[in-house]
A and B are shown apart, each in its own frame.
Chain A
Amino acid sequence: MSEELDEVYGQLVTSSWKRFEENLHNGQVDDLFVGAVITSMVATGNTLIDLTSDGSAHHLRFQHAQGGERLLFQLRHLTPDPVRSKALGHVASVHIGYGEKVSDARTVWQTLKSEVKSGYLDVGEPGVMTVDAELETGYVYVQVELLLDLDPYLPGEYKVDYDLLQQHLSGVRQALAKYLHGRLAAA
Chain B
Amino acid sequence: MLNLISKFNNSAEARESKDEVLIGEVVFAMAHLGCPSIGFHAGMDLQYVKFKPVGNNVLHTVTVLLDRKTGDSVLQQAVVGSKATLTIVGEVKNHFSDPDDLVNMFRTDLANVFRNPWLGKVKLDHQLNSVTATKKQIIDIDDLTTPPEGRTRLNELLRGVLSELHENLATYKK
Contacts and interface: CB of A to CB of B under 8 A. Distances in A.
A34 B98 CA distance: 38
A146 to B, nearest CB: 12
Contact of B36 (A13, A50, A160): A160
Interface stretch (B22-30, B72-80, B133-141, B157-165): B22-30
Interface stretch (A52-60, A84-92, A167-175, A178-186): A52-60
B52 interface: yes
Contact of A72 (B4, B31, B38, B52): B4
Interface stretch (B8-16, B82-90, B108-116, B120-128): B8-16
Contact of B21 (A48, A55, A158): A48
Contact of A47 (B7, B21, B49): B21
Interface string A110-146: 0000001000000110000010111011000101010
Interface in B38-53: 38-42, 47, 49-50, 52
Contacts of A51: 20, 23-24, 40, 42, 47
B119 interface: no
B103 interface: no
* Dominant SS among interface residues on chain B: mixed
Contacts of B40: 31, 34-35, 51, 53, 55, 58
Contacts, number: 132
B95 interface: yes
How many residues of B sit at the interface, in one of the four size bands? 35 or more
B97 interface: yes
A32 B1 CA distance: 28
Interface in A24-70: 28, 31-32, 34-36, 38-39, 41-43, 47-53, 55, 57-59, 61-62, 65
Nearest to A42: B28
Interface of A: 6, 9-11, 13-14, 17, 28, 31-32, 34-36, 38-39, 41-43, 47-53, 55, 57-59, 61-62, 65, 72, 74, 95, 97, 116, 123-124, 130, 132-134, 136-137, 141, 143, 145, 158, 160
Given A31-B38, A123-B1, 13 more contacts: A10-B98, A28-B39, A31-B40, A34-B40, A35-B49, A47-B21, A50-B11, A53-B40, A53-B41, A74-B7, A124-B2, A137-B12, A141-B5
